[in-house]
Structure 1
């Protein structure tokens, strides 16, 4: 049993950590969230391994753990010994874009963020996202539409969107 779980964990860790990071916006919180999900999965491993899609089962555990984590937070600020990083002029455009996108994702409500991450980053189908989140496909579509509208309207992302003139160039 432990060998099965070890192999599963090693194969899924990078994807779980990436998703957790996109859900939390913080590397330390992401590692804690992914580890908590795997700890819960290990305690239920016989049930998880029998599931049609064990990875989806663990993703669902992680999403639920993230919702629980957010409910427990009294405030979103956390003390730190260093100031947050700011994009510097010498950073690549990709790093700046990534930072703006992560900030914009962080401003989305929890469910909308989960739908966007699962649907467009993890490349899950609407049906898979609905199953993972325990909501209907129509709700996934409406959350995705609202989230995408918010992301498009987000002033921080305006410079990274294609020019509306149709030339395909960035603004």
Structure 2
């Protein structure tokens, strides 16, 4: 049992920052991101003895499914706004100001996407997950992943907030 715990602790150290980054991009709220990560890690810990390969994929799947289904269960009381401090994120702030503004504008545009489309975009482009793995993680078909990706990218292309940003 001690070996399993140590292995899980190593897993959390290795994958925790990536899970938190993905959760923050999905929610843009540090508290909600931490809640999503904790939920994903708790579910992963409970299933640790059954996970044979790729525990990171398992945890990422739990995280994204929890994010997508949260709206079905309850609404979060607060909505992140443009005046909210984003310095608590793991995003690097040492880039030139124009790049930072572009990233914030792009992130705001991502927040305007429906939750399922946002989840697909985060998995496909931030986490670099394949179409098949994204479909499996979200419990949807590969055609649906492609459709969500196409619609999300079409929306982002015409969004005035990202018009001047690097694509």
Residue 120 of structure 1 corresponds to 125
User: C-alpha distance in 1, partners of 2:76/2:36?
Assistant: 18
Shift of 1:77: 2.8
TM-score calculated relative to the size of structure 1: 0.81
Distance 1:129 1:78, change over 3 A: closer
What's the CA shift string for 1:112-135, capped at 9, x where partnerless? Answer: 001101101111111111111111
Q: Which has the higher contact order (CA 8 A, sep 6+)?
A: 2
Residue 63 of structure 2 corresponds to 62
Shift of 1:100: 0.7
- In the comparison of the two structures, how many residue pairs are matched? 154
Shift of 1:69: 2.4
* Structural RMSD (CA): 2.2
Unmatched tracts of structure 2, length 5 or more: 87-95
Residue 140 of structure 2 corresponds to 135
User: C-alpha distance in 1, partners of 2:166/2:85?
Assistant: 23
User: C-alpha distance in 2, partners of 1:3/1:75?
Assistant: 34
Unmatched tracts of structure 1, length 5 or more: 163-171
Q: Which has the larger radius of gyration?
A: 1
Structure 1 residue runs of 4+, over 6 Å off?
A: none
